[in-house]
Structure formats: structure tokens, C-alpha cells
Amino acid sequence: MTTDQQTSATVWPDEIYEVLKQAGITQVAYVPDAGHAKLINRCHADKAMRAVSLTTEEEGVAMLAGAWMGGAKGVLLMQSSGVGNCINMLSMIEECRLPLLMIVTMRGVWGEFNPWQVPMGGSTAAALENAGVIVHSVERAEDIRETIHACTALAFNTQRPVAMLIQQRVIGFKNWNK
Amino acid sequence: MAAKKPAGLDRRKVVAALLADRGDALVVTGLGSPTYDTYAAGDHDLNFYLWGAMGGAVMAGLGLALAQPKRRVLVITGDGEMLMGIGSLATVACEAPKNLAIAVIDNGHYGETGMQRAHTARGVDLAGIAKAAGFKSATTISTMPAVQAWLPAWQKKAGPVFADIKVAATPAPMRLPLRDGTAIKHRFRSALLGADAIK
Ligand SMILES: Cc1ncc(C[n+]2csc(CCOP(=O)(O)OP(=O)(O)O)c2C)c(N)n1
Ligand SMILES: [Mg+2]
């Protein structure tokens, strides 16, 4: 499978969308990643969700802090390289004890072609954990629904930052010969 | 002898004027002096004081404005803080929240860290950047009458609205608000959303 083949047959983005919808998520902040393409489209198509394209991932951390202050729930979508852009902004989440739900698609760890993805991919989980974020990693598509459900509950019920990492094996290889 | 450069506006008077008639507005403040200025103008449960998260004030304002479309949201921040999150002006312009206003208290320096000269004292035009990003209303203000004249803009005009307010590079006396982030959150959310919001 390649990320370019994220078609109607790929059900896990729809499963994520359904869980987010059910949880009452209304703000979706993202920097695009091919692995999030289908989910981003579904969120944009939903009139009850506001999907906001960011210039850098840390914007989303601050935005969702504001959302919670105003009584709204959000989710932040990014690829693993974006985690490095968030670190200092995450101090606000810890200090104010705010919920933050992040979904991170992994690059640079499994079947990668682009060597520039390797440094951040290799330190994504540790960087998040060092910044106080609880990390749950999924290796198989069939575990995604349950995991995003658990992450969402943990984040908003306990007001903690929680990230679900979707491992590259789930997302598939990027086709460089297109 | 060359004419003395005008001293610039008193930041405490500027922020007090901005907030004199705030109604039910929600206020987000950028770290350092803008947080202290806002507190000095009168503590308020609906002030979200940032003491860190440099570059995040405008985006916190955007999330809040989208969550509370019926309330006015005013972000009061510094020129250094605004520049660290300069991309957020592009994001806000794209989202065009009608209820969001941004006031930069621009002393042309990094006041909090020892008054080092900053980009706005070296030719960078924040209102020009906001305008180029797509803000319909973006202005530079350097007199108190112009501050007064801008009040209806932040309170009522269809946003997003931006003002870069030039103030003197003179430190104001320390006035320190609540700094425990979790306490600030609980206070703000219970005032805005009711006591159940912090259950
Ligand atoms: C990420 C980060 N870098 C640097 C600092 C140090 N710092 C604190 S306040 C500040 C300058 C703020 O300048 P400005 O927003 O213009 O506010 P002023 O004090 O001049 O009103 C800096 C650099 C910090 N807190 N966080
Ligand atoms: Mg300054």
C-alpha cells in the first residue's frame, strides 16, 4: 500500500472521524500530511467542525488551549516532523492543565525513503513524553478505533495532553515513482 | 539641537483605555508587559493571562473566538510576542473570525528581557503584514485620540481587526497578576461557562 492509495477502502480515517464526531470535537487544527488526507477532507466537509489549516504545528497547540478555555474540544493533526515545532507551546498545556488530543502520523521509521524524516521520526515519542504528553502508538489499522477512543476519553476526562501515533506501517509507503 | 523624539504613549494608559469599557469581552494577554498592563488596568476573571507560550497569544485568541462566536475576544500582546507567532496572522486572516481583535503594544523592544531593540524599531511594519495577510482592518496607532477612536473597532467592527499601537520603550512599574496557569484556567472557565465547567 502507498499513502497515495488512501481510498474509500481505507477505513481507519473514517473510524477516527466517527470517534471525534461522537466525542463532540468541533475544532480541527492541522498541518497537512498525506496520511491525514482523508480525515482532513471529512472534517472540512462537516459543517459542525471547523478545520483550520495552520502555518506551523505550534499554532494548533495554542489554538486548542483557547478552544478549551472557551468550552470547545479540538484535535490537532500533524506528521511526526511537526512534533518538534510544538515543544515550548506544550508548556502551556502542562501549566494550565489543559486537555490536548493529538494525532501524529509517523514518518522516518519504517520503510522510509526520505532521510530527512529520520531524525525527528526517531525522537517523536520521546520528545512528546519529555514535554509531558501521554503517548499511545498504533501499529495495526484494526487497533485505531479503540485507541483513538481511549485517547479522546483520557484527554478530555482527565484534562491531559494525549497523542496517538499512527505508525508508518499502518500508513504505508509513499510512492516516489508516481 | 535636534528636536527631541516624541516620548511615545504610556503603555499603561493605552491598555487602560482599551479595557475601560470592555463589556463581556474575553481577553488574552501575551507574556511579559502586556500581561502586567492588563492586570494593572483591573483584574478580571475573563482575562487569560499568559506568562509563557511566546508566539501563542493570537492563536489562543482564535481558538477562543471560534469557541465563543457571540463574545468579543481581544488579544493584547507585545511586538516581540507577535513576531514569534507572525504566521498566526496569516491563519487568522484565512479563518476571518468576526469577533477577534488584536492589539499589539509595540515598544519596538524586548522589554521583558532588558529592552533589546526589536524588529518593529528596525522598519518591520506589523499593520502592513496584517494587511498583506488579508486583514481588512489593520492600522498603526501613535496618539491617544487614535487609541480612543479605535475602541469601537475592537468592540464592534466585523473582525478580524488589528492595531499596532506605538508606545514608549519605558518599563512600567511591576504589577503581577495570578500566575498559576491552572488557577487562571479554572477562574476563567467558571466565569465564562459556569461552575459546572470545572467539575
Ligand atoms: C520561546 C521564548 N523565547 C524567549 C523568551 C524570553 N522572553 C520573555 S518576554 C520576551 C520579550 C517580549 O517582548 P514583547 O512581546 O515585545 O513584550 P514587551 O516586554 O516588550 O512589552 C522574551 C524574548 C521566552 N519567554 N520564550
Ligand atoms: Mg516589545
Summarised one tens digit per residue, pLDDT across range A133-151 is 999 999 999 999 999 999 9
3-state secondary structure of A11: coil
CATH number of the domain that A141 lies in?
Answer: 3.40.50.970
Which chain A residues touch B61 with a CB distance below 8 Å? 66
Which chain B residues touch A95 with a CB distance below 8 Å? 51-52, 181-182
Domain count, chain A: 1
The CB density around residue A153, as the number of other CB atoms within 10 Å, is: 14
Residue A154 is predicted with a pLDDT of 98
Identity of the amino acid at A57: E
Q: What are the start-end ranges of the E strands in chain A?
A: 25-30, 50-53, 73-79, 100-105, 134-138, 161-166
Longest Cα pair distance anywhere in chain B, in angstroms?
A: 65
Q: How confident is the model at residue A8 (pLDDT cuts 50, 70, 90)?
A: low
Domain boundaries, given as residue ranges, for chain B: 11-170+178-198
Across the beta sheet with B161-166, the strand order is B47-49, B26-29, B73-78, B100-106, B161-166, B137-141
Q: Which residues of A111-130 are buried (b: 16+ CB within 10 A; e: fewer)?
A: ebeeeebeebbeebbebbee
Please report whether residue A178 resides in a domain. Answer: no
CATH 3.90.1150.10 fits B11-170+178-198, yes or no: no
Query: Are the Cβ atoms of B67 and A54 closer than 8 angstroms?
Result: no
pTM recorded for the entire structure: 0.96
Residue-range definition of the domain harbouring residue A29: 3-171
β-pair type (A161-166, A100-105): parallel
Q: Once rounded to an integer, what is the mean pLDDT over residues B159-172?
A: 96
Mutate to test the pocket of ligand 1, among B112, B115, B122, B126 (most ligand atoms within 8 A of CB): B112
Pull the grid cell for residue B163. Answer: 492595531
pLDDT per residue over A35-65, tens digit each? 999 999 999 999 999 999 999 999 999 999 9
Query: Mean pLDDT score of chain B, rounded to an integer?
Result: 96
Residue B112 is predicted with a pLDDT of 92
How large is the ipTM?
A: 0.96
